[in-house]
Amino acid sequence: MKNIISYASYLPKSFVLTAFALLAMFALPVSMAIAATPGPAFNIYDNAQHTGDEHDFVRVDEAGGDAFTNSVEACDGEVDIWVYIHNGEAEEFNGDNNNGPGVAQGTRLAVNLPAGEAQLHQPSATISADNATSVMDNADITCGQHDIKLQFVNGSARGYTQQRGNFNISDAVVAGGVDIGTFADDGVVPGCWEYRIWVKLTVKIKEVEKEQPIVKCDVLEAIKIDRDTFKLKATATAKNGAKVVDYVFNFGDGDTQTVTTDALTATTAAHDYAVGTHNAKVTVNFDLDGDGQADTHKDCKTTVKVTETPTTPPVDELPNTGLAGVASGVFGTGALGMSVRSWLESRSMVRAGILRKKN
């Protein structure tokens, strides 16, 4: 060091200042590391014995298995959830009675099991202590494209340490968390491998049986507006997650019309027809959770008939205005005519009688 200082007197002042600045930069982390205060830290190693990457401390497997991984596919049965707890501080900081600065105090474990129904559930665990930063990790439980739900198996939570062997853990571990420790449920976890804790609990997996979507074209009606204009009314059913996308009307005369909708289960389309008989139908397209399906039911067909325009009826001939016509119009040809005739005859007879008397 003395030689370095003596040589420095021959160097430019700016070079010497830069060199000392760089030396200080590299020396600072060393001094800080030496002066760092020891303290507990959970699951900090990337390549720990027994577990590998400690940051990945929540793993799952089918119940009774031992190939714990980050994910498992299960549609029924049971799944074990495994949690690993290790205080990575050096053993030398534990103190004579595990009261040194490297011992985690007030250690708690809380396991969160997602509620509800979903295709993916991610149970998680949080490890915390009064004098350590908390850590959290999760794993995946799936059932392909099917919804499942998780149910904690009461009494299934168990722990293990070299010092305690197997021990029971309260069901409260999934309801807010519990104190946990290497020697007792007192939250005390010293640093070093030999004081690590394993925890395992079990959940039931149940696939959710959803009602199957219902999609159906119900009926197609033809409603006459005027002689050659008709309104076609289509009705469809979409239930249990299905919805109508559109109605495709085929009017039966070569023309079509698509009515797009995202919710309606009934719609109409008006059309002008030429004379004749037309076989109309409608196709209803549905959406079933992203999958398309079409339906043209037998009841979604109808016949439309358009007839020729009636011709104008012939005009009646004008009445005969001659004498015979006048007589017919006055006297008629029925009972009235007979009455008039009888009257005339009676008058003739009376007149004949009067004439005989005069003679």
CA distance 299 to 335: 62
CA distance 79 to 207: 13
CA distance 17 to 222: 97
C-alpha distance across the termini of the chain, in Å: 193
Percent over 70 (pLDDT), the chain? 75
CA distance 147 to 142: 8
- pLDDT tens digits, one per residue of 223-248: 999 988 999 999 999 888 888 999 99
Label residue 5 by pLDDT band (50, 70, 90).
very low
- Tokens 């168990």, residue? 158
Label residue 27 by pLDDT band (50, 70, 90).
very low
Q: What is the 3-state secondary structure (H, E, C) of the chain?
A: CHHHHHHHCCCCHHHHHHHHHHHHHHHHHHHHHHHCCCCCCECCCCCECCCECCCCCEEEEECCCCCCECEEECCCCEEEEEEEECECCCHHHCCCCCCCCCCECCCEEEEECCCCCECEECCEEEEEECCEEEEEEECEEEECECCEEEEECCCCCEEEECCCEEEECCHHHHCCCEECCCCCCCCCECCCHHHCEEEEEEEEEEECCCCCCEEEEEEEEEEECCCCEEEEEEEEEEECCEEEEEEEEECCCCCEEEEECCCCCEEEEEEECCCEEEEEEEEEEEEECCEEEEECCHHHEEEEEECCCCCCCCCCCCCCCCHHHHHHHHHCCCHHHHHHHHHHHHHHHHHHHHHHHHC
Torsion of the alpha carbons at 139, 145, 151 and 157, rounded to the nearest 10: -30
Average pLDDT rounded to a whole number, residues 33-40:
67
Beta pairing partners, 305: 277
| Structure-token pair, residue 323 | 């004498």
Please answer whether residues 85 and 201 qualify as being in contact, where contact means their C-beta atoms are separated by less than 8 angstroms: no
CA distance 68 to 81: 8
CA distance 251 to 270: 10
For the whole model, what pTM was predicted?
A: 0.57
**Highest mean predicted confidence (pLDDT) among 20-29, 30-39, 123-132:** 123-132
Task: Look at residue 157 and tell me whether its pLDDT is greater than 50.
Answer: yes
CA distance 252 to 275: 12
Q: Are strands 71-73 and 214-224 parallel, antiparallel or unpaired?
A: unpaired
Average pLDDT rounded to a whole number, residues 145-174:
96
Average pLDDT rounded to a whole number, residues 89-116:
95
pLDDT of the residue at 341: 58
Average pLDDT, the chain: 81
pLDDT of the residue at 221: 93
Burial class (CB in 10 A: 0-12, 13-18, 19+), 45: middle
pLDDT of the residue at 233: 93
- pLDDT tens digits, one per residue of 235-283: 999 888 888 999 999 999 999 999 987 667 789 999 999 999 999 999 9
pLDDT of the residue at 50: 72
pLDDT of the residue at 166: 97
Label residue 48 by pLDDT band (50, 70, 90).
confident
Label residue 338 by pLDDT band (50, 70, 90).
low
CB count within 10 Å of CB 247 equals 26
pLDDT of the residue at 108: 98
pLDDT of the residue at 309: 73
Domains of the chain with bracketed CATH:
58-207 (no CATH), 214-306 (2.60.40.10)
Task: Look at residue 350 and tell me whether its pLDDT is greater than 80.
Answer: no
